[in-house]
């Protein structure tokens, strides 16, 4: 195992803090040039935000929206039903309302309308009075729908981040850093979630209105106040947390801690957080609740919550989303068990393609992610007979180094799919059930070598080795100063040992809980999540008697007790004897 830049206890001060040089090593190990360390220690928008005008169609989009504000037009924000779509829509709705334009929103029903803008919905919104529609987190591949809107005389601006084909749909503007004709600066920000692109558009709109003297007699909107939405959407969409995304999330967490957004505050309370949210809370507590509305409930709940100014309404919606999230968990478990039953028949596949009738389309993306983590392979989970035409609706999750979104677009172009698209780590599709085997074989042929190479390059890299006494809350706080952490910017992984297991049991949903003690006399709690039925969990539960071992994982602070305690979330273990 690679211990990274430091051996056991190297860089640890007597009070358990890490010295600044080791924090610098964490940044260097994540690709930060030495001359750029200071900018990355405290990522800010001042040092990371690009000029929005460098992005294709950004200025036309801002000018068209500024025209709508000045002319008092009826504008509708058309969002996707996931967290990125909800936060993107909420961001633009809140901005336009702050500019005096009471914009509306439209979120399609996942089951009845499916992903992306439909031509029928766009035309209907136009007939109801919308002269301008902005699609967020969708639209980059909606050629037919946008053609219908254009024929009806409706202007549509697309704000997206999903993969594009060479031929773009007809739109008043299409802002997407993943356009194939994007500028170098724009393409360098292809890791942005849609809500990040929407924030850049917000900056451009305000700048455009400023140049026209719009703020001569009124205050400019506080764009920084929108960063809590950007942070939530970015983390929940598993966007890579480097560069601008890291600055957006770092600053967004500070805004979230102020609890200025009434709906966001209600969401935090409903998640039973008694402290300011952390990056992991966005992905595991707040995000799933917003998603639950689109997955198994009412698709508009997330945007309604994040745009309301009524505390009572906010509390009611947050409670409803929490209840839906519990329902989603039960549905998800049933689908996962059914999908796992198919794994034995696919052990030779490079890309797992799992399908079943009666599976809820709202949870297939979550299940795909779970099985991707369990198997280490890109995974597609498909709900058969998911629409009136009998098509299957699928969602996929990939592993680093394998661009699943590009493969799905290519499969659609090859005639294997009715529809499909996505980005490197996630994709969605619609398929004729008769094409399932052909798709699986095609994906194996296209991605087999890439998947093998990506899996061969997987390694458990360690940043720091510690004795048990060195695992302290003060140390963890110093490690966290190199954050926020997430996809593309992994949290530090430490190895702690040698230890002996004092107590081992199973808790919750397949979790292993350990109490371990080191040779230095210090003890701590460790958790291996969703591991009890696997090889690691069984070894920890039954193979540790009278044996010493090292544990590797993420150091966390358990703040549920009266006094914060350090604990370890286990990724792996190595026995010494």
Asked whether residue 271 is assigned to any structural domain, the reply reads: yes
pLDDT of res. 561: 67
Q: Quick one: 242 and 283 in the same domain?
A: yes
Same domain for 522 and 483? Answer: yes
Do 90 and 199 lie in a common domain? Answer: yes
Pair 228, 377 in one domain? no
Residue 3 lies in a domain: no
Same domain, 492 and 368: no
- Can you tell me the distance from the alpha carbon of 168 to that of 185, in angstroms, rounded to the nearest whole number? 20
Query: Looking at 456, 473, 506, which one is the last position of a domain?
Result: 456
Q: What is the pLDDT of residue 545?
A: 80
44, with CB counted inside 10 A (0-12, 13-18, 19+), is exposed
Which of 456, 485, 508 is a domain's end point?
456
Give the model's pLDDT for residue 8.
36
Whether residue 60 sits in one domain with residue 192 = yes
pLDDT at 18: 43
Instruction: Answer yes or no: do 438 and 473 share one domain.
Output: no
Q: Output b/e per residue, 240-255; b: 16+ Cβ within 10 A.
A: bbbbbbbbbbbbbbeb
pLDDT per residue as tens digits for the range 192-245:
999 999 999 999 999 999 999 999 999 999 999 999 999 999 999 989 999 999
DSSP 415-434: TS-SEEEEETTEEEEEE-GG
Q: Give the residue ranges of the chain where pLDDT is below 50.
A: 1-19
Q: What is the CATH number of the domain that holds 418?
A: 3.10.310.30
Question: Cα(136)–Cα(117) distance, rounded to whole angstroms?
Answer: 10
Q: Is the dihedral of CA 179, 182, 186, 188 positive or negative?
A: positive
Which is nearest to 122 in space by CA: 84, 94, 152? 152
| Same domain flag for 386 and 446 | yes
Q: Do residue 101 and residue 177 come from a single domain?
A: yes
Task: Please choose, from the candidates 444, 412, 390, the residue with its C-alpha nearest in 3D space to the C-alpha of residue 163.
Answer: 412
Beta bridge partners of 356: 383
Q: Give the domain range for residue 506.
A: 460-575
Res 13: pLDDT: 46
State whether 168 and 131 are in the same domain: yes
Residue 209 confidence (pLDDT): 98
The pTM score is 0.86
In this structure, the answer to whether residues 466 and 422 fall within a common structural domain is: no
Question: What's the token pair of residue 398?
Answer: 């990939």
Judge whether 259 lies within some domain: yes
**Where does a domain end: 323, 352, 385?**
323
Domain count, the chain: 3
Cβ neighbours for 6, distance < 8 A, ≥ 6 positions apart: 22, 25, 463, 464, 465
């Amino acid at each position: 195992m690679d211990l990274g830049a430091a051996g056991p206890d190297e860089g640890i001060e007597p009070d358990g803090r890490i010295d600044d040089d080791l924090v610098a090593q964490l940044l260097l190990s994540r690709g930060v040039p030495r001359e750029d360390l200071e900018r990355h220690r405290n990522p800010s928008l001042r040092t990371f935000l690009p000029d929005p005008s460098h992005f294709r169609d950004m200025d036309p989009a801002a000018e068209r929206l500024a025209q709508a504000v000045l002319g008092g037009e009826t504008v509708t924000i058309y969002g996707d039903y996931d967290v990125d779509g909800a936060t993107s829509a909420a961001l633009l709705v809140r901005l336009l309302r702050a500019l005096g334009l009471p914009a509306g929103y439209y979120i399609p029903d996942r089951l009845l309308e499916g992903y992306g803008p439909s031509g029928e919905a766009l035309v209907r919104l136009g007939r109801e009075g919308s002269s301008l529609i902005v699609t967020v987190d969708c639209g980059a591949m909606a050629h037919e729908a946008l053609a219908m809107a254009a024929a009806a005389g409706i202007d549509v601006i697309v704000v997206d981040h999903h993969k594009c084909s060479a031929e773009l749909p007809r739109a008043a503007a299409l802002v997407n850093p993943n356009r194939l004709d994007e500028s170098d600066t724009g393409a360098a920000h292809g890791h942005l979630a849609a809500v990040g692109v929407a924030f850049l558009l917000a900056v451009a709109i305000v700048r455009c209105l400023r140049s026209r003297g719009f703020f001569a007699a009124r205050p400019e909107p506080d764009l920084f106040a929108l960063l809590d939405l950007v942070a939530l959407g970015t983390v929940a969409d598993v966007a890579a947390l480097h560069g601008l995304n890291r600055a957006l999330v770092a600053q967004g967490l500070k805004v979230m801690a102020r609890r200025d957004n009434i709906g966001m505050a209600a969401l935090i309370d409903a998640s039973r957080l008694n402290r300011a949210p952390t990056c992991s809370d966005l992905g595991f507590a707040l995000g799933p609740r917003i998603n639950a509305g689109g997955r198994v409930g009412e698709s508009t709940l997330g945007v309604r919550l994040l745009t309301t100014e009524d505390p009572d309404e906010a509390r009611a919606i947050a409670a409803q989303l929490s209840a839906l999230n519990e329902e989603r968990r039960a549905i998800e478990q049933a689908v996962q068990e059914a999908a796992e039953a198919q794994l034995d028949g696919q052990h030779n596949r490079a890309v797992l393609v799992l399908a079943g009738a009666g599976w809820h389309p709202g949870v297939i993306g979550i299940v795909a992610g779970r099985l991707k983590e369990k198997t280490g392979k890109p995974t597609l989970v498909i709900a058969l007979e998911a629409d009136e035409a009998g098509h299957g609706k699928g969602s996929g999750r990939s592993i680093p180094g394998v661009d699943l979104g590009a493969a799905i677009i290519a499969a659609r172009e090859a005639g294997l799919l009715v529809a499909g698209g996505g980005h490197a780590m996630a994709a969605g599709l619609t398929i004729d059930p008769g094409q399932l085997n052909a798709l699986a074989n095609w994906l194996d042929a296209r991605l087999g070598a890439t998947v093998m190479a990506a899996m061969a390059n997987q390694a458990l890299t360690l940043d720091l080795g510690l004795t048990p006494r060195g695992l302290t809350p003060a140390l963890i706080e110093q490690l966290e100063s190199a954050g926020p952490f997430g996809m593309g910017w992994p949290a530090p992984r430490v190895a702690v040992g040698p230890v002996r297991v004092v107590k081992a049991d199973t808790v919750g949903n397949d979790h292993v809980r350990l109490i371990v003690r080191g040779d230095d006399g210090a003890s701590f709690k460790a958790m291996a999540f969703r591991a009890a039925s696997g090889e690691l969990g069984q070894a920890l539960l039954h193979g540790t008697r009278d044996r010493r071992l090292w544990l590797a994982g993420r150091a966390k602070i358990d703040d549920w007790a009266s006094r914060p305690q350090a604990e370890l979330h286990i990724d792996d273990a190595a026995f010494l004897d």
